[in-house]
Every structure is written in C-alpha cells, then in structure tokens.
Amino acid sequence: MALKLLDKSQPRHIKSGIWASIVSAVMLIGIGIFWVAHPAAAEGSFSIVPDSDAAIRFAKITAIFKAIGDFLPPIFVLLAISFRQYKLAGYFHLVTLLLVIVVDMFVWGSFVPNAGATDILQHIPFAIPIIIAAYCFLKPTSKNS
C-alpha cells in the first residue's frame, strides 16, 4: 500500500508524512499487541499485586481496552492515507497525539506509584512520528507546488 502511494508525483512532504505514519502505525499496533500478549504488565506498572483471580481477569480486560485504543488510531490514519485524504490523516494524528499519547503520559504521571521522568518520557518516541506526520499533512502548501 505505502509503495503505491509513494509515487513520484507526490510532494516530498506528503511522502515524509506517509513514512512517518507507517512508523507510527507500526509502533502503536506493536504496543497494542504487547498489551494483549502481556496483560499483567499493567499490574506491574501500577504495582498491583495480582492477589486474586479476579485481579488477573481485570488486568486482561483492561489490556484489551488499552490495545483497542492503540490499534484504532493507526487504522483510521492508514485508511485516510489510502484514500489520499492527507489533511484528514493529519487531523487523526493530532487527535491520536492528544487522546492516546498525552492522556497516557498524564495517567502514568498521576497514577503509577513512584513514577519518574523516565516513565513519562518513554512516550516521546511514540509522539515523534505522529508530530512529524501531522506537520507534513497539515503544512500549508502553495498553489504552485
């Protein structure tokens, strides 16, 4: 899909936005897979002792919702790109940045016991390709280019 959209007629900033979107999608889908594969990671993050079967089941349910929240944004972005709706993809990136990355940083900073700067700053690598793609897709272009 990406190679088909990256033809020579595309402006450079659109090509950059597509590549940043692909990197972002791989990262977010990968972390979604992580949550499904390792639901107990939530317990470790929040220092919850899995003292009962109910706590373990709750962690699995939470992991599924977290994974869905990480899967959906890149799917919408990739769909918008496939329909060549780059401005829409840029807006999807901004929404993802605010509702997934910033909210997750806030949750980690507020609710993880003994959270340090590293715990919060670990979200920055996810934000970088999102910011690049949003900028590339929403950047004003002149009519001549």
Domain count, the chain: 1
What range defines the domain where residue 82 resides? 12-33+69-138
The pLDDT-based confidence of 40 (bands split at 50, 70, 90) is: confident
Within-domain flag for 129: yes
Please give the Cα distance from 88 to 112 (Å, whole number): 34
- Comparing 46 with 133, which gets the higher pLDDT? 133
Residue 90 lies in a domain: yes
Nearest to 89 by CA among 73, 105, 101, 104: 73
Q: At what angle do helices 86-96 and 12-37 cross, to 10 degrees?
A: 40
The verdict on residue 26 lying in a domain is yes
Mean pLDDT of 84-107: 94
Of the pLDDT bands very low, low, confident and very high (cuts 50, 70, 90), residue 137 is very high
The position carrying tokens 């220092």 is: 47
Residue 29 lies inside a defined structural domain of this protein? yes
pLDDT tens-digit readout, 56-86: 777 788 888 888 999 999 999 999 999 999 9
| pLDDT tens column, 45-58 | 666 666 777 777 77
What DSSP element (H or E) covers 9?
none
Closest Cα partner for 67 from 101, 106, 36?
A: 36
**Could you tell me if residue 80 is inside a domain?**
yes
**Between residues 113 and 26, the one the model is more confident about:** 26
Q: What is the pTM of this model?
A: 0.85
